[in-house]
């Protein structure tokens, strides 16, 4: 089963984070908005959670949300910069002038 297609993501606008639930608890990606850009600022995972592939799929789902909403994505976190380098298909989401 493809984790990316079965993942349920909640956009918690009050807390300014995307959320999904795993067995160990809540995985979140915090964000802030400025104009038509979404700044991905922090990834939070439960202490015992170490599934990097799940986090990558979570980020892929967030990129799809950004595409739907016609947002540019600004990766603040080094881990998200690495995600963009590993997934060049999403580089079109970067605002002009951002180099990775």
Per-residue pLDDT tens over the stretch 19-39: 999 999 999 999 999 999 999
Identify the pLDDT of residue 3: 44
Give domain status of residue 99, yes or no: no
Mean pLDDT of the chain: 92
Number of domains in the chain: 1
Mean pLDDT over residues 75-91, rounded?
A: 95
CA 23 → CA 20, 47, 60, 77, distances in Å? 10, 12, 20, 25
pLDDT one-digit tens code per residue, 1-19? 344 456 899 999 999 999 9
Query: Residue 2: what pLDDT?
Result: 44
Find tokens 């608890």 and name the residue.
25
* C-alpha to C-alpha distance for 19 and 29, rounded to whole angstroms: 7
CATH code of the domain in which 88 resides = 3.40.630.30
Position 3 in a domain? no
Q: Is residue 36 in a domain?
A: yes
CA nearest neighbour of 25 among 3, 57, 51: 51
**Any domain includes 76:** yes
Domain encompassing residue 76: 9-93
């Amino acid at each position: 089963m493809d984790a990316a297609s079965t993942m349920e993501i909640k956009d918690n606008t009050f807390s300014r984070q995307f959320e999904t639930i795993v067995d160990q608890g809540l995985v979140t990606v915090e964000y802030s908005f400025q104009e038509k850009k979404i700044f991905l600022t922090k990834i939070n995972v439960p202490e015992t959670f170490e599934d990097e592939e799940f986090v990558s799929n979570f980020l892929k789902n967030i990129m799809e949300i950004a595409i739907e909403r016609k947002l540019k994505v600004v990766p603040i976190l080094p881990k998200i910069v690495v995600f963009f380098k590993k997934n060049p298909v999403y580089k079109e989401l970067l605002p002009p002038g951002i180099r990775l």
